[in-house]
């Protein structure tokens, strides 16, 4: 990964905003900008019209790791809290304007201490590094592809072992075990396995419930590989699916395909949401689609852009409509959840291209009856 190039892109943004520097505390952003993967690290970035100066602060546990991973910033082993030493360094070196901090990631208490300790002028900044991270570099796409393939490869063996009576948590455990055996560093989020009427919970974390002889099971999971997350959902049916269940499944599948078709560089993220939502509307199921159509994926499981409805009440999207660009990696995951009955969700990861998109998730989507 070319950290220096990323740092220069950030410096460009900071200069544009007439800022003198930035205190980067959000770990995925720290990793993105300088390569550090540990659990305590703060990056201080000072910009001037001529140049760029960086210092990375961590604690004694990471002396060796920081020396190995961080070659594009001066490494400082802090004696006290890394964030405070970074702030003091910035007060001294960022002299060409106020210093930005990540207002969504730094607690009020931490910020107050920073301000008191370092003094100077501070400015809240939202999603600046996240904006850079939206466009994936070829190496990042390769890493995401590998994560997607690993997760997909365990789907079939896991489904083969599902039978009535097995608990949701046993299914999740087997799934996670196989992922780890295949080399996953971890799961990108708590594995969701929801069966029967629990499948009507859009965020159904695996429970002790035993799988009933008949009904849907939603499996939503992802792995972390090389720091990058994957995310996929498939819904299977235990027993033979009745007409209603089959219709519901097909409606979600159609909506998912319409969503994928709508993806292309230049379109609004909200247009992709609309394509999926309109498709469900035609089946009279849009009122059961209670979340957004998708999200960006990368070093974090949920990143910008958000593929959500552009309408009143959705102020974030209303202020700044997000447009898809070639190189973004996003999920397309419409779902239908009927309380008391059950739910269906189908989710793929796709790479946005100039002319459309490439579906990264290879797992088939026709209805599996167990």
Separation of alpha carbons 214 and 196, rounded Å: 7
How are strands ordered across the β-sheet holding 122-125? Answer: 74-77, 52-58, 41-47, 21-24, 99-102, 122-125
For Zn ion, give the closer residue by CB, 69 or 199. Answer: 199
- Smallest distance from Zn ion to CB 200, Å: 16
Residues in 338-357 that interact with Zn ion by CB under 5 A: 347
What's the closest the beta carbon of residue 58 comes to Zn ion, in angstroms? 31
Residue 90 has phi, psi (to 5 degrees) of -65, -40
**Residue ranges of E strands in the chain:** 21-24, 41-47, 52-58, 74-77, 99-102, 122-125, 186-187, 192-195, 215-221, 223-225, 228-229, 232-238, 294-296, 303-307, 329-332, 335-338, 342-345, 348-352, 357-359
Query: Is residue 303 a contact point for Zn ion (CB under 5 A)?
Result: no
- Three-state DSSP at 237 gives strand
Q: Are 217 and 236 in contact (CB under 8 A)?
A: yes
| Site membership for Zn ion, residue 331 (CB under 5 A) | yes
The residue whose two tokens read 């939503």 is 220
- Of 27-35, 107-115, 153-161, 329-337, which part binds Zn ion (CB under 5 A)? 329-337
Are 366 and 235 a contacting pair, CB within 8 Å? no
Binding part of the chain for Zn ion, among 80-88, 160-168, 212-220, 273-281 by CB under 5 A, reads: 212-220
Nearer to Zn ion, 303 or 347 (CB): 347
Q: Which is nearer to Zn ion, 43 or 192 (CB)?
A: 192
Rounded to the nearest whole angstrom, what is the least distance from the CB of residue 194 to Zn ion in the complex? Answer: 12
According to the binding rule CB under 5 A, does residue 273 interact with Zn ion?
A: no
Residue 231 or 273 having the CB closest to Zn ion: 231
Rounded to a whole number of angstroms, the minimum distance from the CB of residue 35 to Zn ion is 26
199 binds Zn ion (CB under 5 A): no
Stretch that binds Zn ion, among 4-12, 70-78, 106-114, 230-238 (CB under 5 A): 230-238
User: Binders of Zn ion: how many residues, by CB under 5 A?
Assistant: 5
Nearer to Zn ion, 220 or 271 (CB): 220
CB 305, min distance to Zn ion, A: 13
Taking a C-beta distance cutoff of 8 angstroms, is the pair 218, 197 a contact?
A: no
d(Cα 42, Cα 235) in Å, to the nearest integer? Answer: 41
Task: Determine how many CB atoms are found less than 10 A away from the CB of residue 266.
Answer: 11
CB closer to Zn ion out of 246 and 291:
291
Is 231 a residue that touches Zn ion (CB under 5 A)?
A: yes
Q: Near Zn ion by CB under 5 A, which window of 23-31, 130-138, 224-232, 250-258? A: 224-232
- Please choose, out of 119-127, 154-162, 253-261, 324-332, the segment that lies near Zn ion by the rule CB under 5 A: 324-332
Residue 19, token pair as written in the block: 């800022």
Shortest Cβ 70–Zn ion spacing (Å): 31
Smallest separation, CB 273 to Zn ion (Å): 13
Is 271 near Zn ion (CB under 5 A)? Answer: no
State the DSSP string of 163-201: -TT-BHHHHHHHHHHHHHHTT-SEESSPPEEEEGGGGGS
Q: How far is the CB of 347 from Zn ion (least distance, A)?
A: 5
- Residue 40 is classified by DSSP as S
Instruction: Decide: is 220 part of the binding site for Zn ion (CB under 5 A).
Output: yes
**Contacting residues toward Zn ion, per CB under 5 A:** 220, 231, 233, 331, 347
């Amino acid at each position: 990964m070319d950290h220096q190039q990323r740092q220069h892109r950030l410096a460009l943004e900071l200069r544009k905003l007439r800022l003198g520097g930035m205190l980067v505390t959000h770990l995925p952003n720290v990793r993105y900008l300088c390569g550090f993967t540990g659990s305590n690290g703060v990056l201080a970035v000072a910009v001037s019209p001529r140049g760029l100066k960086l210092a990375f602060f961590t604690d004694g546990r990471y002396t060796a790791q920081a020396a190995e991973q961080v070659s594009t910033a001066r490494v400082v082993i802090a004696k006290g809290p890394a964030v405070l030493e970074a702030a003091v360094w910035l007060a001294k070196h960022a002299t060409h304007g106020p210093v930005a901090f990540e207002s969504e990631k730094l607690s009020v208490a931490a910020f107050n201490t920073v301000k008191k300790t370092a003094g100077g002028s501070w400015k809240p900044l939202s999603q600046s590094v996240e904006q850079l991270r939206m466009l994936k570099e070829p190496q990042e796409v390769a890493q995401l592809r590998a994560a997607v393939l690993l997760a997909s490869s365990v789907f079939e063996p896991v489904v083969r072992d599902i039978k009535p009576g097995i608990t949701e948590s046993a299914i999740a455990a087997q799934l996670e075990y196989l992922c780890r055996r295949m080399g996953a560093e971890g799961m990108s989020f708590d594995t969701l396995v929801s069966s029967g009427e629990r499948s009507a919970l859009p965020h159904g974390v695996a429970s002790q419930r035993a799988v009933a002889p008949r009904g849907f099971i939603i499996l939503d999971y992802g792995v972390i590989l090389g720091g990058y997350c994957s995310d996929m959902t498939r819904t299977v049916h235990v027993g033979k699916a009745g007409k209603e269940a089959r219709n519901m499944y097909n409606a979600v599948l159609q909506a998912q395909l319409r969503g994928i078709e709508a993806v292309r560089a230049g379109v609004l993220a909200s247009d992709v949401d609309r394509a999926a939502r309109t498709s469900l509307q035609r089946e009279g199921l849009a009122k059961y689609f209670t979340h957004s159509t998708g999200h960006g994926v990368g070093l974090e499981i949920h990143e910008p852009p958000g593929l959500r409805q552009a309408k009143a009440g959705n102020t974030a999207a209303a202020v700044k409509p997000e447009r898809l660009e070639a190189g973004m990696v996003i999920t397309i995951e419409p779902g239908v959840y009927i309380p008391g009955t059950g739910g269906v969700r189908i989710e793929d990861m796709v790479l946005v291209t100039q002319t459309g998109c490439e579906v990264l998730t290879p797992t088939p989507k026709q209805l599996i009856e167990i």
